[in-house]
Amino acid sequence: MDNNHFGHKTTPLYKILKIILILLSMSACCLSANTDWPKIKKLENGCYEFDGVTIDKQNLLIKFKMTSNQRSGLIEYGIVHENGKIHESLFTTKIRPEIIHASLLLLKAKAEGDYFLSESNDSQSYSSRCVDVDVTWESNQTIKQRNLRELYYNHNAKKNTPAKPLYLFTGSRIIETIFMAEHTGSILGVYLDPDAILNSIESNSDNDDLWVANKLTMPPLDQEVTCVLQLPQNRP
């Protein structure tokens, strides 16, 4: 028997993942009711690797590789799949949206799907549940790190950067049994998108004519980077 398979009975995380994937498939949360899930592997440092995503259960974070895609002009997304709306996104990734979604669920993150159902959403009421998003890359043998919010700006308020992370795990909507993030490739929306897995809930995030890539802080075009999604340590 393969001891690295997510169904291995001796590792609690494997059990959790198996349950999550079964539930996702049963509820049609995956495009075409995908049941051909990859294996999850335990790493020597105590983390887990899941189809390109590193899951750090102890520190409540996940990591995955991305590529710098856009350094100037209007954007609507921070991250999309390489088959998604790449002409509107800072970064692209080969990681499937459903894998990122399942990885967040493994850390017991709760998708705030009701965010789009309310007519008046107060971002402050959700701030304690938001995910911090950092981007790291190597440059001249040194590691650079930026919060995702430093890599773009509101052109009507260029110097006004929120003090707290305002990226909410909203989860993607499902339309006629299709998990829309997998269908559209939308992973993190700067401009609100119910298809995306995470969304900025910053003021004016419902305006698609405000957000501009910051060429002064973005990594070079086509640079490989690492995305770190950090869940809040003290979740409500």
119-169, pLDDT tens digit by residue? 656 666 788 889 999 999 999 989 999 999 999 999 888 777 776 778 999
pLDDT at 15: 58
Average pLDDT, the chain: 85
pLDDT at 226: 98
Confidence grade of residue 29 (pLDDT, cut at 50, 70, 90)? very low
- Rounded to whole angstroms, the Cα distance separating 133 from 28 reads 28
Least confident of 28-32, 182-186, 232-236: 28-32
How is residue 138 written in tokens? Answer: 């190597």
User: Beta-strand (E) ranges in the chain?
Assistant: 40-42, 48-50, 53-56, 61-68, 77-81, 89-93, 132-139, 142-147, 152-154, 167-169, 174-175, 178-179, 186-189, 198-200, 211-213, 224-230
pLDDT at 46: 87
Confidence grade of residue 27 (pLDDT, cut at 50, 70, 90)? very low
How is residue 197 written in tokens? Answer: 């897995």
Q: What one-character DSSP code corresponds to residue 10? A: T
Whether the per-residue pLDDT at 183 is higher than 80: the answer is yes
Whether the per-residue pLDDT at 192 is higher than 70: the answer is yes
- Rounded to whole angstroms, the Cα distance separating 16 from 234 reads 21
Whether the per-residue pLDDT at 71 is higher than 50: the answer is yes
- Per residue in 214-234, pLDDT (tens digit) is 999 999 999 999 999 999 987
- Per residue in 82-126, pLDDT (tens digit) is 999 999 999 999 999 999 999 999 999 999 878 887 765 666 678
- Per residue in 42-56, pLDDT (tens digit) is 998 889 999 999 999
In one-letter notation, the amino acid at residue 129 is R
- Rounded to whole angstroms, the Cα distance separating 177 from 185 reads 16
Nearest residue to 53 (alpha-carbon basis) of 43, 61, 63: 63
